[in-house]
Structure 1
Amino acid sequence: MRKYFSLIFRAFRFVLRYVKGKFQYIACRIILEGNNVEYKKIVTNGVPFVSVARKGKCVIGDNFHMNNNIRGNPIGRVQRCILFVDNGAELIIGNNVGISSTALIANISIHIGDNVKIGGGVCIYDTDFHSLDSEIRKDKGMDKINTDNKPVIIGNNVFIGAHSTILKGVTVGNNSIIGACSVVTRSIPENEIWAGNPAKFIRKINFD
């Protein structure tokens, strides 16, 4: 009896996932179109949160994979992917990029290259969000004006480990790897492994 129940359960789950997947794909397309996002082929588990300001720009390359729920990447700390682009800012994502429960917050500019893997729960910010001056933070308008923003650039073939955070002004060179749960506060050269809080050089990547 248990064997038959398991088979029925698996068949039901397969059908449910298929139907939900179709609706989620349609919802994702509607959200991207509604935010004037330029994109090509996308594959999605779940539905992302997308907010692109009227004067913002978001471009997603071909073969983009996105996990927004526990089914897509069951490693903990699950949330929907967040693509946020402020007025006058840009978020440019290359070809063959995969993200899971990722937050990409562009107040001025985030560029992600081709063949990049971004692990579950990764956050990339090009802004401090608030002024470092406590007096300025008391005034919302002045706080926004005096917030420090610097572009973030992620090179080609980069792998960013789960739950890492990349802060403003950082460039990650081609082929480099960032260990899980790292906080990246400064730029990383090509072909290197960095990890920790704050992230530090671990070793060169040897392609021989």
Structure 2
Amino acid sequence: MTGQRSDARRNYAHILAVAEAEVAAQGAQASVERIARVAGVGSATVRRHFPTRKALLEAVFKQRVQALCERAQALRDEHDSRAALVEWLRELLAYSLAARGLADVLSYEPLQDEAAQDSCAGVIGAAGASLLRRAVDDQAVRADATIDDLLTLIVGIALATENYTDPAAHAERAFRLAVAGLGATGT
């Protein structure tokens, strides 16, 4: 955004604020046309700032994804590496349920995709991978677990439970069942 005119920067910030509210209410399928209408701009203006739905969603979640990454960093030095990993995954799941649409962003592409390194999925994957590596090194989780596996579980649980009357309770149950399978023995 450097080099943009001040009105373009204001438009960007305003569109992003409206998009955050719309995504919170409607999830990843929030209407770009409605976002434009509420923001008081044309849909072409929205698309100029955010050429794809994915780009719009990435921008909406960028700050909170950064907070999850900082949380992973803080948990890396915990004594119990398995508990640290599980706590971070639980927080990611809770945020995925609270921030409708994040699970959709995380499921857009495989995490190994080189082009995705700056995406929400790439950043989240890198943050979680450091926690997973430590837990595997400590033999606290099964050696064949990958960060892609774990994020697929989180995304799947979030998407499968988001429309329940009490999504958090159903997600927590599914999460506990999945974590039970994460044991170091692999059984």
Task: Please say which structure displays the higher CA radius of gyration.
Answer: 1
Flag the structure with higher strand content.
1
TM over 0.5: no
What TM-score results when the alignment is normalised by the length of structure 1?
0.26
What TM-score results when the alignment is normalised by the length of structure 2?
0.28
Flag the structure with higher helix content.
2
